[in-house]
Amino acid sequence: MTDLVLIGATGHLQSVMDSILARGCYRVAHIVDDNTAGREFFGQYVEGATDLLPEFHARGMRHAFVSAGAIGGYGNREKWYQLARRTGFEIVNIIDPSAAVSPHAKLGEGVFIGKNAVVNAYARIGNMVIVNTGSIVEHADVLEDFVHIAPGCTLSGGVRVCRGAHVGAGSVVRQDIVIGAESLIGIGSVVVRNIAPRMVAYGNPCREQHPLEI
């Protein structure tokens, strides 16, 4: 079984570890986070901060996964991803065994696909994307790097979600829509028009409300 270092100990780590245990292909050897040392997850403790990564690599660890969520932005996810790559780790994907991922889909690295999620044919999933529980990514969708699709979303065919955008839980996106980079789509929205970059948008139909302030 391959040893794995997990980077980031937010609530998202609980879903990640559950999927790792269900799949059974990795052994979680270490967990690090810059803010939550000592916290326990599934009987394992956060050992310390990310400055431990070079030590772990020097001791023979070669595989890592960024297990921090993206609530409040993806800054830590990007920072820790780049740190792990510079340190020399291979960044793996974690796909829950209950997920259905087409062999004709293309996945980057550092991707998490949660329970009962669907990724259909010719979808393209970038690096560090989260497709959370029960979400559907239909044929020919494109999810750029650091996108977060929250639980229970449906993205119809040909949708493009640009870098760092967040689609809130239970949202539905019409076919061929473009959601701009770093935009935030509110919970339960029905997106029938393109959304500009760095906008907060929500509602049925989804409307741009104001520019993202963070």
- Residues annotated as part of the active site: 139
> What kind of architecture, by CATH, is found in domain 2-92?
3-Layer(aba) Sandwich (3.40)
Whether 174 shows a pLDDT value over 90: the answer reads yes
Distance, in Å, from the CA atom of 199 to the CA atom of 25, rounded to the nearest integer, reads 39
Whether 124 shows a pLDDT value over 80: the answer reads yes
Let me know if the fold of 2-92 is the same as that of 95-211.
no
Which tens digit of pLDDT belongs to each residue from 6-46?
A: 999 989 999 999 999 999 999 999 999 998 888 899 999 99
Distance, in Å, from the CA atom of 132 to the CA atom of 70, rounded to the nearest integer, reads 11
Residue 27 is predicted with a pLDDT of 96
Q: Could you state, in order of their start, the residue ranges of all structural domains in the chain?
A: 2-92, 95-211
Q: In this structure, is the dihedral angle defined by the CA atoms of residues 200, 65, 51 and 62, taken in order, positive or negative? A: negative
Q: Is 2.40.37.10 the CATH number for 95-211? A: no
DSSP-based three-state secondary structure for 149? strand
Please give the C-alpha separations between residue 211 and each of 180, 194, 201, 204, in angstroms, as whole numbers: 12, 15, 9, 19
Long-range contacts of 99-108 (CB under 8 A, 24+ apart): 99/131, 108/145
Distance, in Å, from the CA atom of 178 to the CA atom of 72, rounded to the nearest integer, reads 22
Which tens digit of pLDDT belongs to each residue from 161-172?
A: 999 999 999 999
Q: Give me the chain's average pLDDT, please.
A: 96
Residue 48's pLDDT band (cuts 50, 70, 90): very high
**Of the listed ranges 62-71, 83-92, 171-180, the one predicted with least confidence:** 62-71
More confident position, 35 or 52: 52
Pairing of strands 207-211, 199-202: antiparallel
